């Protein structure tokens, strides 16, 4: 089963993403900030895909992305960013993300991107 690590500081958003992904047959692990994401990766059991909210307290998704890439993790990362800035996706890709979707997201688009990246 494909494992997806989902990180978002909003518990309701996290729960919604988790249930929705579970409905589509994914195994879901959740984290509420960047540090938790790094801790989970250290514990092993690498996920097949990381879904990362760009803005989170303590450690942001952007920082976590840079740290996990620096630590040598190669799995695909999809960043969810609330910034509708036209340059935002490019910036995320340059930091090592494999994709960037705007927040709030359209389910169909999000699922399509997840399927592409997770090879589901």
Partner 1 sequence: MRINPSLTARLRIGFVILFALLLAVSLLGVGRLFQIRVDFEDDTARLFQLELETERMRSAFILEQAATRPAVEGAEPSASELDQAAASFAAAGGRARDETGGDSVLSGRLESLITAEAAWREAVAGPVLRGRSPPPKVRTRLTSDVTNSAEALSVASRGARDSIRADARDDTRSTTILVVAGLIGALLAALILFSGLINSMRAPLARLVDGARRLAGGELDTRVEVGGPVEIASLGSAFNEMATSLERDARERDRIERMKDDFVLTVSHELRTPVTVVKGFAEMLTAQPNALQARQYEAASVISESAGQLQNLINDLLDLARSDAGKLRIDPEPTPVGPLAQRIGRQMRPSFEEKQQRLTVSVENDIPDVKADADRIGQVLSNLLTNANKYAQQGATVQLTAGRVGSEVEFAVSDDGPGLGEEELEHVFERFWRAQSGETQAVGGTGLGLAIAKSLIELHGGAISADSKPGKGATFRFVLPIAKDGK
Residue ranges that bind partner 1, judged by CB under 8 A? 10, 12-13, 16-17, 19-20, 23, 82, 84-87, 103-105, 107
Q: Minimum CB separation from partner 1 for residue 49, in Å?
A: 19
Q: Minimum CB separation from partner 1 for residue 37, in Å?
A: 19
User: In whole angstroms, what is the distance from residue 116 CA to residue 110 CA?
Assistant: 10
Q: Contact, 80 vs 53, CB < 8 A?
A: yes
User: In whole angstroms, what is the distance from residue 38 CA to residue 25 CA?
Assistant: 24
> For partner 1, which is the closer residue by CB, 10 or 46?
10
> For partner 1, which is the closer residue by CB, 38 or 53?
53
> For partner 1, which is the closer residue by CB, 40 or 113?
113
Q: Minimum CB separation from partner 1 for residue 91, in Å?
A: 13
Distinct helix (H) and strand (E) counts, the chain: 5, 5
First to last CA, the chain: 9
Q: What six digits make up the tokens of 9?
A: 């500081």
């Amino acid at each position: 089963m494909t494992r997806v690590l989902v990180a978002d500081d909003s518990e309701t958003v996290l729960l919604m993403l988790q249930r929705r992904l579970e409905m589509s047959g994914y195994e879901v692990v959740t984290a509420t900030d960047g540090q938790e994401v790094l801790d989970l990766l250290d514990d092993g059991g690498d996920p097949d895909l990381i879904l990362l909210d760009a803005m989170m307290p303590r450690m942001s998704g952007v920082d976590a992305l840079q740290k996990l890439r620096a630590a040598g993790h190669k799995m695909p990362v999809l960043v969810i960013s609330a910034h509708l800035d036209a340059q935002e996706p490019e910036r995320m890709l340059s930091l090592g993300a494999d994709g960037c979707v705007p927040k709030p997201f359209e389910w169909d688009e999000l699922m399509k991107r997840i399927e592409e990246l997770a090879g589901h």
